Amino acid sequence: MDIIVCVLLFAGLFFFTGGAVGILRFPDFYSRLHPAGKLDTLGSLLTMTAFALYNLHHFSLGALLTSSKMILIIVFVFVASPTATHAIVDAGVRAGLEPWTSGEKRR
């Protein structure tokens, strides 16, 4: 059990780190939203799953309730976070922001 929790936590942290690096390193608005939307969602999914599993160490009805609340958080993050990213990209397109092409300067 502990091993699974550790693996999930480290995988989540790995994706979070990748997301942070991506937000800092990518050249423009749209490409920066790419790691922000994808990797942060996956990172929080994995870490929250690890928390929910770890919480079930001492099994009781209360712990099960808490874990199922965490699962609910996972579901809502999974629905809401990519949608928010999509909405931001949509707003960028409507405002007329041109995507970055190779060879241009970072902005």
Binding-site ranges for other proteins (CB under 8 A): 76, 79-80, 83, 86-87, 90, 94
Rounded to a whole number of angstroms, the minimum distance from the CB of residue 87 to other proteins is: 5
d(CA 89, CA 75): 22
The tokens describing 10, both together, are 């480290």
Residue among 58 and 94 whose Cβ is closer to other proteins: 94
Work out how close the CB of 4 gets to other proteins at its nearest, in angstroms, rounded to a whole number: 29
Q: Are 28 and 107 in contact (CB under 8 A)?
A: yes
Closer to other proteins by CB, 27 or 92: give it.
92
Let me know: does 46 contact 9? Beta carbons within 8 Å.
Answer: yes
Query: Nearer to other proteins by C-beta: 6 or 79?
Result: 79
Query: Minimum distance from CB of 2 to other proteins (Å)?
Result: 30
CA distance 93 to 64: 44
